[in-house]
Structure 1
Amino acid sequence: MLEDVTSSAVRIALKGLAQRQRVIADNIANIETPGFLAGRVQFEEALRTAVTSGSPDKAASAVRGVQPGVARSLEPTRENGNNVNLDHETLSHMDTVLRYQTMLKALDAKYGQLRSVIRGGA
C-alpha cells in the first residue's frame, strides 16, 4: 500500500470522517435520552499539523500517528440535560458526507496515478 504523505493523510481523513458519521448517528439516536451529551470527532487540526511537520518522511510518519478522537460537547443542555441539536447534527452530517466523497475522489486519483505508472504511462 502507498505510504506517502498524501495517501496516509487521505486514509486518516477517511477514518476520521467515518467515525464522525457513527458519532452523528449516535447523537441523533439519543436526541431524547436524558443527560446525553453529543459527541464531537476531532482530527483535522492534528492531521493538518502532521502534514506540515517537515520533510516528507517525517510528515508521513507523523500523519500515521494521528488518531481521531471523540470528545463530549460542552454546548448548553436542555432541561433534561441533553444537548443534541438536530439542526447541528444534520448540517454536520451533510458536511461530513461531502468531505468523505472528496477524500474518496482524492484516493481514486492517487490510485489512478499508480495505475498509469504501472501501465507505462506518465
Structure 2
Amino acid sequence: MGLGLCIAVLATGTGARAQGNLSAYQGSWLERGPECAEVFSDAGKGTSFKKPVDIFVPAMIVSGNRLKTPSASCRIKSVRPASDRQLLTLDCANAVAGNELRVLMAPQPDGSLKRFSNEQDTLGTRYERCSR
C-alpha cells in the first residue's frame, strides 16, 4: 500500500497540538501478514523500514508528529475527534508529489490501531504495534 496507506485508503492545527494527541499512535505498526522482523529494522536512531523497502507492505512508523509509510513521509498537522475515531490531517510527500490527506484512525482497547477508509466503514483495517 505504501503511500497507498495514506492516499488510496486514506482543521488545520499546529504540529505541537497534533503531537500532544499522538501518544497512542507512537511506534511501528503492521497489518496482519508479514512478521514485524521482516518489515522493520531497529537501528540506533529508532525503527526504520528494512532495505530493500517493500513499498506494498501495509505498514507505518509514527514518531513524534511524523508518520512514515514505505513510500511516503508525512507531517501530522492536526488530530481532531470524529465520533469514536480521530481525524488526522497529514501533509505527505513521496518521490512524485505532495498532498494533504485526511485519515480516520482509532486506537483500540487491546493496544492495536484501526484505520477506516471513510465514515461509513464500520470494520476498519487492524494494525498491530511492533514497537514503541
TM-score of the aligned structures, taking structure 1 as reference length:
0.24
TM-score of the aligned structures, taking structure 2 as reference length:
0.23
Q: Which has the larger radius of gyration?
A: 1
Q: Which has the higher contact order (CA 8 A, sep 6+)?
A: 1
